[in-house]
């Protein structure tokens, strides 16, 4: 599918855009530049955050402990999925944060970590199998299906965050019934352990009770002005038969958390999952000329609208200046208008990365062709007031989402 087709599929309201009014090119008869043409219908983009997935750093699907008196246990792949697609009562985590519905919608059965900017989750299954060596032959004496619900959450305005883990039995039989689980959590990197709890708890089947829960909280050490640090957290779980005759272990991690006190326009530390490309929203109703330009630029093939083709933030002033100079250095003079470049100069995606300029009808430029090249930049004259508002939106967005140099982000248009 072409890029244009992918973008149009994302639009909530596919509209046929038409231009009216006087073109800015050459200016109207009285010499005052007219605004680029409005559109008859607003461009609307989906503004709902979409979770992304990443390979899980959790342990292998099979792990066995050494036999104890000929008895031992293994964690093996799930034999039959029993994870709900919504927060059913038997998996509600008491005293812990409930998993968001989007996690139940996307995570089960994927063996992947799913995440947004300030939260991530994983739902996966294993089978706890009990064995015994009888007359030199390994014999299964019981099994217990288990579902694990892992969730990490943080705030862009706090250096503290949490990672909770819940284990639920989904069915079983034999000597594995009544098994227990306990855990400890270990942080590594620029952080410390604030608190943790995961005492030994029984794993009853759904008809017998809820299950086992644990939680760890952590504090970043990257709190000095200008500091940036990452931290990973690893749960170490031990499963034991009810009679204590055998056990096995597993480890589990989610994605590293980045905390900083180096974000523009704030001296408050905070934390994020930096791989996630948050969405900067331009309101078409408030910024029609800017929105119209960005919409056309993205539709022509430039990055920034799709999750798999984000823009990349740059804080390097030299790159920002070069991007703007290459795009708008020869901008025409129209009173009340200034040159808008897309991708914005505050990205590594501008003309400093290569490519050529493009423009569109009613943008105030002549002798610059249109293009569908995925590399390059689009330019258009827009009202100074809208360009000034754009700068404020960028500052607020980069502060709110803790966007540092090299972070991905998207620009979406909303009516």
DSSP string, 172-199: EEETTTT-EEEEEEEEEESEEEEEEE--
Are 220 and 312 members of one domain?
A: no
Integer Cα distance of 270 and 21 in angstroms: 47
pLDDT at 264 over 60: yes
Residues 139 and 86: beta-carbon distance below 8 Å: no
Length of the chain (residues): 415
What does the pLDDT read at residue 94? 52
Last-in-domain residue among 238, 272, 306:
272
Helix (H, G, I), strand (E, B), or coil: what is residue 33?
coil
Q: Quote the tokens at residue 319.
A: 């790159």
Q: What is the mean pLDDT of residues 132-161?
A: 95
Shared-domain flag, residues 249 and 346:
no
Average of per-residue pLDDT values in the chain? 85
Q: What is the tens place of the pLDDT at every residue in 345-400?
A: 999 999 999 999 999 999 999 889 999 999 999 999 999 999 999 999 999 999 99
Q: Which of the four pLDDT bands, split at 50, 70 and 90, describes residue 78?
A: confident
Count of domains for the chain: 2
pLDDT bin (cut points 50, 70, 90) of residue 84 is low
264 and 385 fall within a common domain: no
Query: What are the CB-based long-range contacts (under 8 Å, 24+) for 59-65?
Result: 59/250, 59/251, 59/252, 61/126, 63/248, 63/249, 63/250, 64/248, 65/246, 65/247, 65/248, 65/249
- Domain assignment of residue 204, yes or no: yes
Regarding whether 347 and 232 lie in a shared domain, the answer is: no
Specify whether 58 is located in the same domain as 110. Answer: yes
Q: Can you tell me the mean pLDDT for 118-135?
A: 94
Q: Specify the pLDDT at position 21.
A: 34
Q: Say which DSSP state 307 is in.
A: T
Answer with the residue of higher pLDDT: 315 or 63: 315
Helix (H) or strand (E) holding 146: strand 137-153
* pLDDT band for position 204 (cuts 50, 70, 90): confident
- Do 260 and 155 share a domain, yes or no? yes
Q: Give the model's pLDDT for residue 85.
A: 56
Q: Is residue 278 part of a domain?
A: no
Binned at pLDDT 50, 70 and 90, residue 42 comes out as: very low
pLDDT tens figures, 297-354: 999 999 999 999 999 999 999 999 999 999 999 999 999 999 999 999 999 999 999 9
Q: Is residue 38 predicted with pLDDT exceeding 60?
A: no
- Return the H-helix or E-strand segment holding 398: helix 384-400
pLDDT at 45 (0 to 100): 45
Q: Which of 28-32, 43-47, 204-208, 292-296 has the lowest mean pLDDT?
A: 28-32
Contact 273, 258 (CB under 8 A): yes
Q: Lowest mean pLDDT: which of 49-53, 150-154, 280-284?
A: 49-53
**Structural domain includes residue 22:** yes
Same domain, 345 and 398: yes
pLDDT band for position 197 (cuts 50, 70, 90): very high
Residues 244 and 378 in one domain: no
Domain extent for 337:
3-44+284-414
Say if residue 40 is in the same domain as residue 119: no
User: 277 lies in a domain?
Assistant: no
DSSP, collapsed to helix, strand or coil, labels residue 279 as strand
Percent of the chain scoring above 90 in pLDDT: 73
The residue out of 211, 237, 272 marking a domain boundary is: 272
More confident residue, 334 or 5: 334
Residue 160 and residue 248 in one domain:
yes
Task: Clarify whether residues 158 and 123 are in a common domain.
Answer: yes
Do both 76 and 27 map to the same domain?
A: no
Domain boundary among 206, 239, 272: 272
pLDDT score of 205: 76
C-alpha distances in angstroms, 42 versus 12, 303, 362?
A: 11, 21, 17
Quick one: pLDDT band at residue 34, thresholds 50, 70, 90? very low
pLDDT of residue 87 exceeding 90? no
Q: What is the pLDDT of residue 48?
A: 64
pLDDT of residue 156: 97
């Amino acid at each position: 599918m072409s890029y244009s087709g992918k973008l149009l599929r994302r639009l909530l309201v596919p509209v046929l855009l038409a231009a009216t009014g006087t073109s800015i090119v050459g200016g109207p008869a009285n010499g005052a530049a007219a605004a680029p043409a409005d559109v008859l219908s607003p461009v609307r983009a989906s503004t709902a955050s979409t979770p992304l997935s990443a390979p899980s750093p959790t342990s292998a699907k099979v792990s066995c402990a050494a036999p104890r008196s000929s008895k031992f246990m293994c964690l093996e792949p799930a034999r039959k999925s029993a994870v709900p697609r919504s927060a059913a009562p038997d998996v509600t985590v008491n005293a812990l944060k409930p998993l968001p519905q989007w996690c139940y919608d996307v995570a089960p059965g994927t063996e992947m970590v799913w995440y947004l900017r300030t939260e991530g989750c994983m739902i996966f299954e294993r089978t706890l199998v009990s064995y015994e060596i009888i007359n030199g032959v390994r014999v299964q004496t019981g099994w217990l299906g288990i579902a694990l619900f892992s969730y990490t959450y943080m705030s862009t305005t706090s250096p503290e965050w949490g990672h909770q883990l819940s284990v639920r039995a989904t069915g079983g039989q034999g000597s594995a019934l009544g098994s227990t689980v306990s855990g400890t959590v270990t942080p590594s990197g620029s952080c410390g352990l604030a608190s943790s709890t995961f005492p030994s708890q029984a794993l009853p089947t759904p008809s017998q009770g809820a299950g086992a829960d644990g939680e760890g909280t952590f504090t970043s050490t990257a709190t000095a002005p200008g500091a940036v640090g990452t931290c990973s957290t690893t749960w170490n779980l031990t499963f034991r038969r009810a009679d204590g005759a055998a056990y096995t272990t597993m480890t589990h991690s989610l994605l590293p958390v980045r905390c900083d006190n180096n974000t523009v326009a704030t001296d408050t530390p905070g934390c994020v999952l930096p791989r996630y490309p948050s969405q900067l929203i331009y309101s078409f109703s408030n910024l029609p000329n800017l929105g119209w330009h960005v919409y056309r630029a993205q539709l022509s093939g430039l990055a920034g609208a799709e999750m798999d083709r984000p823009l990349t933030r740059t804080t390097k002033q030299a790159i920002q200046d070069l991007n703007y100079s290459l795009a708008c250095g020869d901008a025409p003079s129209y009173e009340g208008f200034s040159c808008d470049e897309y991708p914005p100069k505050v990205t590594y995606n501008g003309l400093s990365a290569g490519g050529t300029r493009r423009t569109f009808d009613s943008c105030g430029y002549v002798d610059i062709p249109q293009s569908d090249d995925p590399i390059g930049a689009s330019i258009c004259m827009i009202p100074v007031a809208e360009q000034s508002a754009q700068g404020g939106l960028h500052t607020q967005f980069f502060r709110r989402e803790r966007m540092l140099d090299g972070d991905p982000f998207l620009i979406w248009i909303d009516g």
